[in-house]
Structure 1
Amino acid sequence: MPTYLFAAGSRPIEVEQLVKTIASWDGSKLPSYGKGQAEVTIFKITIPVGGEVPWHIHPTINAGFIIVGRLTVFTDAGEKHELIAGDTIVEVVGKAHRGINSGVVPVELIVFYAGVEGKPLTIEVD
């Protein structure tokens, strides 16, 4: 990925692009944004060792960055994606999926949601 440098006095500022995509991790194209007031939400999520995020759907676009740990995500169609510290993920939208801490330390990740005010970011499913 490209790295950009900016001059900040005598010290350069480095900007590294981590991801730029029109598709989620399973290859499906991201949907168009919904109508309404745009709303950005950022979460820091910690999943304990052995922790499992329940099955859920995101009706809005979101992406994450794994700070620490190992996370395995699955779709209900059986697709699987392994992530470790330093990896990025563009989540599937409108598809049931879940995550499991598959490592030996708590997973810490930052997730960014590009949603619409008043609309849910996550919907838990059975």
Structure 2
Amino acid sequence: MRNGFKRSLTKSCAAFCVAIFGGAQIPASQAAGRVHTETLLETQSSWDGTPYEAYPAGTPQLSVLKIVIPPGTALKWHLHDVPNAAYVAKGSLTVERHQDGLHRSLKAGEVLPEMVKSMHRGIAGPQGATLIVFYAGKKNVPLSRP
């Protein structure tokens, strides 16, 4: 009886997985509501090619910020001690590395793997920029510093 229960459980789990992950028929009224996943960024280095180091030891702290930058505004030079990525939700942004002026321009819908422990700044385009920034930080470590 135990093997029968295991087979039944396995079949039930398989049916559940098929239903959840795409094998089941979805009524036409729900087809427009299908979940779509798109990888926007997957990297082990910042936008300038510098590899990321290990995460800081200690209690992890995730932060997500919405940053609105007025048109033409240049942020102050700063650096981050923790890995982060910025999604440009609106407008455009140019990021610039302090040491040599290397820069990269982004528009709405693009993602930037930020620099860690390297001085840089962002400059908003003529329509400004709205960013959603995800930080993989550590408790009591600032997200950025001058």
Do Structure 1 and Structure 2 share a fold, with TM-score over 0.5? Answer: yes
Match of 2:128 in 1: 106
**1:85 is matched with which residue: 80, 84, 108?**
108
Question: Which ranges of 4 or more aligned residues in structure 1 deviate by more than 4 Å?
Answer: 6-9
**1:95 is matched with which residue: 108, 118, 126?**
118
* Equivalent position amino acid for 1:99 in 2: G
How many angstroms does 1:106 deviate by?
2.1
- Within 5 Å, which residues of 2 pair with 1:1-126? 6-7=21-22, 9=26, 10-11=30-31, 12-77=34-99, 78-101=101-124, 103-124=125-146
How many angstroms does 1:33 deviate by?
0.4
Deviations 1:18-73 (A, max 9, x none): 01000100000011101100000000000001111100010000001001111011
Match of 1:3 in 2: none
| Larger Rg belongs to | 2
Q: Which has the higher strand share?
A: 1
How many angstroms does 1:104 deviate by?
2.0
**What is the CA RMSD across the aligned residues, in angstroms?**
1.7
* Equivalent position amino acid for 2:131 in 1: L
* Equivalent position amino acid for 2:81 in 1: P
- Structure 1: any 5+ residue segments left out of the alignment? 1-5
Equivalents in 1 of 2:103, 2:121: separation in Å? 10
What TM-score, normalized by structure 1, do the two folds share? 0.89
Say which SS state the counterpart of residue 94 (structure 1) adopts: coil
- Structure 2: any 5+ residue segments left out of the alignment? 1-20
Q: Which has the higher helix share?
A: 2
